[in-house]
Every structure is written in structure tokens, then in C-alpha cells.
A and B are shown apart, each in its own frame.
Chain A
């Protein structure tokens, strides 16, 4: 396993659209292991997407299980993920391994239905909400060449949009 360099904005390669995984071979497994190793090496990231290490295939890792009071499906390797349903929206603060020293507010769907393959190529589907759903949406954006910077909203406009009643 190797800790890879993380591409940082404005590296143009972060802007490209990644292609689907078609072969579930040893090379894929090695890349997934590197991706996880790289995620764990940096500042406490709850997710990472393959393009962030210069691997342009549709693979993301999400793990919010280490956070208290957070609903979670545990450690997830999501391959060729697709969101099939979105519900609600909520504002939250995001930062990114590929955008050092900046955080900002972004609107995401509050609940999602998600289909993906696991690292063996087996179908899996999830219903997710809150922080985990946000993490998946953030990581999946990377697969389409998008960063949270593309979705920033002004703090000054959000007073009564944020869900202040739900902690």
C-alpha cells in the first residue's frame, strides 16, 4: 500500500469526468487500498474520491462511523455509484483534501437513495441521510469533476434555510 499525492485545486485534472470501473481485478484492489491509505494519512477526512489521487475511475470511499451521534453504514467502498433519489435539502459546511485552508457552506440533499457496487463487484443499495449522505454527494461530485467550491452559497443568505431545529 502506498500513500499517494493528493491533487489540489487548481489542478485541471480534478476537473475531468472519471470513467466507470469495468474490471474487478487485483489492480483495482491495490488502487482501493492506496486510496484508503491516503485518506487515513491526511487530516480527518470522512471520504475520498479516486480522482483526488489521480486515478480517474468512479470509486469513492466514505466512512462517517467514527463520528458520534451520526447515522452511518460503516466503512463503504462505492464503485460506479448512482444516486437514484434525492429528498430535502440542507446547508452544511464543507472542506476538501484537494482545497487546503478553505471551508464554505454548501447545500446538499438531506436524504438519498444510492446504488453502487462493492469492491468485489456486488450490487448494493443504501438509504442515507444527514452527514453520511452529504459525504457521498461531496465525493461523487469529484467523479464528475466538481468541487464544493462550485456549489458555495453565501453565509449571509442562509439565515432561515438551515435546519436549526434538528441537531
Chain B
């Protein structure tokens, strides 16, 4: 009997982490589901849906890699959830001068206008003296794209650009 776990790994980024972790999981007889791996700052971060026998065995299998690469490991039991993907129908992009609270303002207003966020990433670019802020969100607009556009329109000022557009998924 295999169960699903959400496995979170964080540590200082260095080459080869993904290969080491996934090889270890494979050799321990685990299956991978959806995963997200990204470098945030100087940190390696990964979240993966892993199917394995039990959490202790998972931890045991990964411990040597975790110790060697000085990673932080977290394991949660989760409900099985593959093939539950929601298709986003709206995309929001915000960029501009770095401004305190912008993520909170965008997400609060959008959620009040019916947005269910499926995916969010934000980044800081530009220079240290003049940082620019970039935010991308994909989600499902329960009250329509126009409702979200209207809710976010007031934020479009002071050098902040907000784009809201429909994602038309073609099935063919």
C-alpha cells in the first residue's frame, strides 16, 4: 500500500541536489507526482508529491542526502490528489517600482473579486538602489476576468503597471 506525502526540502543551493534527491527516492521505490523546484535567493527549494510506503521509511532513505547537503526536510501526509488540476482562466502581471504591501494589495483585491490563485510567483529585479517588483499570478476567476480587472484598476498608479488578461485554453 503506497501513500502520498508532501515532501519539502530547503537548503543552500548547489549543483546536483535535484538529481541526488530524485535518485534516492527512485531507489527507495517511491513515485513522483507533481513537483515544483525553484531557486529562491540563494536557496534551493523543492516541494514534491511523493508516493511511498510510510513517512519513516521516506525520511530514513533521504537522511544521508539531507545530512550531506545540509538540507531541511519536512514530510506531511496528504490526500491523494493527482489529476485534480484546475485550468487557469486568468493571468495577472504586476510590475513597477518596489512598493511595500503590493502583493497583499493585489491578492486581497483579486480574491475579493473571485480569484482563486493557482500559481503565484514574485521577484525583485532592477538594481539595489532602484529595485523593481514583478508579480505573476495565474488563477480561476469565479466572477469573471472583468471583475478582477476592475478590482485591480485602482492600483495602477505611482509607477505600478497591472495587466489582467484572460487565458483562453485551446483544446484540439
Contacts and interface: CB of A to CB of B under 8 A. Distances in A.
Interface of A: 43-49, 62, 67, 92-97, 101-103, 131, 134-135, 138-139, 155-156, 159, 164, 167
Contacts of A139: 172
B160 interface: no
B121 A96 contact: no
Interface string B157-172: 0000001011111111
Contacts of B42: none
A47 B169 contact: no
Given A92-B170, A164-B93, A156 B83 contact: no
Contacts of B85: 101-103
B3 interface: no
B169 A96 contact: no
A93 B93 contact: no
Contacts of B83: 101
A14 to B, nearest CB: 13
Nearest to A64: B170
Given A101-B85, A103-B87, A159-B136, A131 B93 contact: no
A129 to B, nearest CB: 14
Q: Which of B38, B87, B93, B171 has the most CB of A within 10 A?
A: B171
A101 B121 CA distance: 23
Interface in B127-148: 134, 136, 138
A46 B167 CA distance: 15
A167 B167 CA distance: 10
B93 A46 contact: no
Interface of B: 38, 83, 85, 87-88, 93, 119, 121, 134, 136, 138, 163, 165-172
A138 B166 contact: no
B171 A97 contact: yes
Main SS at interface, chain A = mixed
B126 to A, nearest CB: 14
A65 to B, nearest CB: 14
B172 A93 contact: no
B168 A93 contact: yes
Contacts of A67: 168
A93 B166 contact: no
B93 A135 contact: no
A94 B87 CA distance: 10
A45 B172 contact: yes
